[in-house]
Amino acid sequence: MAWWSGPGSAVGSLARADLRRRGRAVMAGGALIGLAAGIGMACIAGARRTDSLFPRHLAATRASDVEIDPGNLDPAADRAIRTLPNVVAASEWVVVEALPMQGGRPVDTLRTALPFTTDGRFLGPDLVSLAGGRRLDPTRPGEVMVNALYARIAHLHLGSRQQVGVFAATDNGAPLGKATRVETVTVVGIMALNDDVISEQLDRVPRIFVSPALMKGAPKSAFGFSWYGLRLAHGDADVDQVVTRWKQLAADHNRTLPKDQGGWLTFVHRTADQERTVSRAIRPLVTSLGAFGVLALVAAVVLAAQGMGRAVRQGADDTSIAQVLGLTSGEATLVGLAVPVATVVTAGLVAVGVAVGLSSRFPAGPYRILEPAPGVQVDALVLAAGLAALILLPVAVAAVVALRLARAGTAGQRDGARRPSRLVAWVARSGARPPLVASLRLTVEPGRGRAYVPTRSVLISSIVTVTFLITTIVFGSNLRALANEPARFGWTADGALLSDGGYGQFDPKVTTPWLNARTDIDGWLLVGADRTSLDGRQTAGVVYGPSRGRGAGMLPVIISGRAPRATGEIVAGAATLKSLHAHVGDAVTLGSGAGARRVRVTGTAVLPALGPVFAVRTRPDDGVWVMPGDRAAFDTLGSYGPPWNVVLLGFTPTSDLAVLNRDADKGPFLAPGTDADVYGVIRPSEVSTAASAGRGQNALIATLLGVAVLGLMLTLVAVVRRRRHDFAIYRTLGFTPGQLRLTVVGQGLLFAVAASVLGLPLGMVLGRQLWRLFAQRLGVVPAPTVAWPPLGLALVGVVLAGLLGALLPSLLAGRSAFAEAQRARGDVRS
Amino acid sequence: MAEAEETVPAGEVLVVRGVRKTYEAEDVPVRALRGADLTMARGEFAAVMGPSGCGKSTLLNLIAGLDQADDGEITIDGELVTGRTEDELARLRRRHIGIVFQFFNLLEGMSALENVVLPAVVAGTPRKRAEPRARDLLDLLGVGDKAKAAPGTLSGGQRQRLAIARALANEPTLLLADEPTGALDSEGGHEVMELFRRLHQGGQTILLVTHDDEVATVASRIVRMRDGRVLTGTPAAATADSAVPAG
């Protein structure tokens, strides 16, 4: 007789019967666990999708490897750039004098917008992303695309029509003449250039992309700055060679020009730098999303493991009977596993459905628009790993429990008494109220046989849940502190003044009297911020100059070593030093070429985000603080940039940013045709992203509390049902229904208090450590802070969760009847 | 096995020799059996009686292989029960033992018919052969019309008859019953005892544990126990004559 047609067939019958009997519980449990696991898997997959977004976007849009700005469109520069070594393809965009018109005149509010056209760039190479509509047809002069900022400022939407005039440029901001061409254009697309999406506050510019057909026949002066995107034969590996060659060509060319003529510029944007910036900005979002996902998945797996252990024990009576009828322990184990396996398989199916369904919600955050393949995505790796965790672990737990019960076999029906808890005995002797003693007994004595409830494992999982909760709160309060305390990301000033987007200079002779005369500024510090290099690695640097009042204290935040005191000393960002494998005390080479010099690293600092717009700027963990005597190590920006191109400001309580901006635009320090901007706190994008990621904290707290309430409720229902005989006895001993309810409520409170007593310190330690790691990776000040009010609220929440979880079971307990319990005791179907 | 067979007198289905069992309850050792001896001939119907705690149920559990003896030897139809693993005991039960409990121990997720079919299938009987026999047993025990019913919908007497049918599914060498009427009203109790009487007449060997003198009258022999030992094995009629009717 084959096993399959004998005992195997019986195992199948018993398993089917068990599934029929507990089918609804299987479906409900599976759906609940699957939902939590699916959310977790979706978040982990979403984190991976978000993390890989920008590289995928670059690949999908045939992105350039490097972008060179030679200055105004110039046929000679155009030829030189296109013939640089290893250039596979080159295309440019160019700023044009194509301005929105109203009543025959350019619209004043849109004078700061950036109108541009291309030779096909953004329509083929560097393909622009769209927030709506379609890309313009370069053969139709009446079509434009605008970015979201432009659309907002100009009150435009898809299909909006606007008059655009093409003008000849004038020198030094003189009024424009008559338009050479006026065209009514239609907004056919809301575009999102990489800069629109990944840029920080400084770089956000309203942009309008006019069709090349509109600019056909326009005067030469209508074309301004141009940017060439170059695709190179060996990608980023060729960039250094190309840039070096371009600098040589520019220097050679510029030597032939009169001194007052600007010549070709050497502004360079390396795509790899942009990729690093985005990666850094996305990191907090990816980390928090991934952490949330892992927590949700772990919670689901723990819930599943606990539930499956419970499910096996609930079915243990039947398997025990089946063993009496002749099933071996192995066969009984298989029967015991039917419900757990069905539940986790159901959970797995639900989880996959939820994870795939939610995948269209990712990538998360503002970068989502760059997704080259939006919509549903199946992350096979995450799904496989998630399913493995969701199915294997709980089934393993269930198998161990089932095997133990089966090995105990028929003896399970007559197992001996366990030693009563000494704690319970001590509490009882100390004169505690009977419901409290009963609560404690039901909590620490799990019962035996069919009355067994895994209260100890629930207690442990409650402690784990509260630990996670406190960890989340400690981490979240540090995220909030990061957002609210700018010094944590190196911003020690109240604001900053930039001229011409950081490319204009502030002459101290005319700037400081203006600053000193203002009553709404109580301190200032002149800063030179631009690109330099350390040991050949490009980075951004800052040099601090004259100051007044509070300005002297607006320096970077030192986190190790000391500030530089003399020429030849520098302080660097932690990531900068790490990338150089250098340490405090080491000597490194600052700058390149003629300006290069050896300097000593005296410390690491969290640096403020400073530098010109569209340029590589210092970041909390990246950049270098240089003494004025080493200023020559900065790359030259021609007539732009340092020595002083940023003024850090200290505001008085009466300062008004709008007033300051208005007055700065008339400042004596401005070069003709330029403007100035006063900014408040300038947040690096990674800090902004981190702060926004912190908003998901409430969802995580709610999830954790929800899991805690549910787990507790299921346990207490099991306690009330499986130990109804105990309750019946309490009733015969004189417990009123109210006292029975109180016993269960007390049990809920005991779980909550015990979990809090252990979970609070554990969570605080874990939260602080996690924050340190996170802050170090982000490059901000790592010292953790503890906000007690949210912790207090969390503990109140835990206690309320304990009460909430005990509510329904306590009502069931209050209805316990002795006779019913006695009858039930004799019937295994109880 | 051969050794056991040599020591078992011909015709004796059950031999219990010097069985001892001590277990702990509330940290206190309880000497449930202190050297119990019992033999049963094929076709015999014995009722084990005695006061609470005398070891009746412990003896039944040890015979059924539901528990392990500390000392002594038990053989059923020449096969040694003691000293076997749980899985070996499970296989032995398939061949030799049918058990009826006080509280039925029916599988609620299965129909009455499936409950009866199950032990036969577990023992390796093809389902096609097990089902007709199960139906016959249900008919024989008067619950043939309840084949598709869930056990929970049956009366106490019907449930116990179903449990007996299940116990007989494998034509066991020995039918064990632990207080089979304990959870039934008097009518149900009488029905069940009548069934046992008929089964005995049909040649079934039955060992029944009860504290009810009236129930014991159905048996052909009364086995009395006290303090973990078997005292006597007297004909049931003699006991019934002197018994105080159960109240």
User: How far apart (Å, rounded) are the C-alpha atoms in residues A735 and A750?
Assistant: 19
How far is Cα A551 from Cα A549, in angstroms, rounded to an integer? 5
Q: Do A7 and B121 touch (CB under 8 A)?
A: yes
* Angle at A24 (CA atoms; ends A21, A28), nearest 5 degrees: 145
Question: Does A178 score more than 60 pLDDT?
Answer: yes
Distance from CA of B176 to the nearest CA of A (A): 12
Cα separation, A543 vs A648, in Å, equals 12
The pLDDT, as a whole number, for residue A425 is 76
With contacts defined as CB-CB under 8 Å, which chain A residues touch B124?
Answer: 1, 5-7
Nearest to A10 by CA among A329, A317, A327: A327
DSSP sequence for B104-161: ----TTS-HHHHHHHHHHHTT--HHHHHHHHHHHHHHTT-GGGTTS-GGGS-HHHHHH
Lowest-pLDDT range of A171-175, A470-474, A601-605: A171-175
Q: What pLDDT is attached to residue A366?
A: 77
d(CA A702, nearest CA chain B) in Å: 38
Chain B 124-143, CB below 8 Å of chain A: which residues?
Answer: 124-127
Q: How far apart are the C-alpha atoms of A14 and B107, rounded to whole Å?
A: 9
pLDDT digits (tens, 9 = 90+) for B98-110: 999 888 888 877 8
Which residues in chain A are closer than 8 Å to B27, comparing Cβ atoms? 417, 419
Residue of A nearest to B89 (CA): A326
- Measured CA angle at B8 (ends B60, B45), to 5 deg: 45
Burial A415-434 (b: 16+ CB within 10 A, else e): eeeeeeeeebeebbeeeeee
The mean pLDDT value for B214-239 works out to 79
**Across the A/B interface, how many CB contacts are shorter than 8 Å?**
113
A819 pLDDT above the threshold of 60: no
Q: Which of A686, A280, A707 has the alpha carbon at shortest distance from A483? A: A686
User: What's the confidence (pLDDT) of residue A413?
Assistant: 43
> pLDDT: is A62 or A636 the higher one?
A62
In chain B, residues with a C-beta closer than 8 Å to the C-beta of A411 are 66-68
| Residues of chain B numbered 86-105 and touching chain A (CB < 8 Å) | 86-87, 90-91, 93-94, 99, 102-105
Residue B110 touches chain A, beta carbons under 8 Å: yes
For chain B, the structural domain boundaries read 2-103+174-241
Contacts of A20 in chain B (CB under 8 A): 109
Q: Which two tokens stand for residue A365?
A: 């955050």
Q: What percent of chain B has pLDDT over 70?
A: 88
At A192, is the secondary structure helix, strand, or coil?
Answer: strand
Mean local confidence (pLDDT), A90-100:
91
User: By mean pLDDT, which of A257-266, A301-310, A416-425, A478-487 is the weakest?
Assistant: A416-425
Whether A414 and B107 lie within 8 Å, measured CB to CB: no
- Give B239 to chain A, closest Cα distance, Å: 30
**Between A300 and B236, whose confidence is greater?**
A300
Please enumerate in sequence order all residues whose Cβ is within 8 A of that of A557, keeping only pairs 6 or more positions apart, or say none. A487, A488, A490, A492, A605, A606, A781
Which CATH number does the domain B2-103+174-241 belong to among 3.90.1010.10, 3.40.50.300, 3.40.50.1820, 2.40.240.10? 3.40.50.300
| A425 and B CB contact within 8 Å | no
Average pLDDT over chain A, rounded to an integer: 85
Q: Which residues of B touch A329 (CB under 8 A)?
A: 86-87, 90
Selected residues 21-40 of chain A with any CB under 8 Å from a CB in chain B: 21
Residue A659: pLDDT band with limits 50, 70, 90: very high
Per-residue pLDDT tens for A463-482?
Answer: 888 888 888 888 888 888 88
Q: How high is the pLDDT of residue B235? A: 58
Q: 3-class SS at A667? A: coil
- The string over A361-393, giving b where at least 16 C-beta atoms fall within 10 Å of a residue's C-beta and e elsewhere, is ebbbbbbbbbbeeeeebebeebbeebbebbbeb
Instruction: Please give the single-letter amino acid code of residue A20.
Output: R
Structure confidence by residue, pLDDT tens digits, A491-542:
999 999 998 888 888 989 999 999 999 999 999 999 999 888 899 888 899 9
**What share of chain A has pLDDT > 70, as a percent?**
91
Contact B118 A10 (CB under 8 A): yes
How far, in Å, CA of B23 to CA of B27, rounded?
A: 9
Q: Is residue A804 scored above 50 in pLDDT?
A: yes
pLDDT at A254 exceeding the cut of 70: yes
Nearest one of A749, A754, A747 to A812, comparing CA atoms: A747
Q: Which of A17-31, A227-241, A470-484, B14-28 has the highest mean pLDDT?
A: A227-241
Residue A127 in this model has a pLDDT that exceeds 60: yes
Look at residue A414 and tell me whether its pLDDT is greater than 60: no
Q: What pLDDT was estimated at residue A462? A: 80
* Cβ count near B154 (within 10 Å): 18
**A61 CB contacts (<8 Å, ≥6 apart)?**
A126, A127, A128, A129, A372
**Chain B residue closest to A18 (CA)?**
B109
Q: Do A826 and B183 touch (CB under 8 A)?
A: yes
Model confidence at A486, pLDDT cuts 50, 70, 90, reads: very high
Pairing of strands B221-226, B229-235: antiparallel
Taking contacts as CB-CB distances below 8 angstroms, the residues of chain B near A419 are 27
Boundaries of every domain in chain A: 1-63+271-413, 87-232, 421-488+685-830, 492-682
pLDDT band at A430 (very low <50, low <70, confident <90, very high): confident
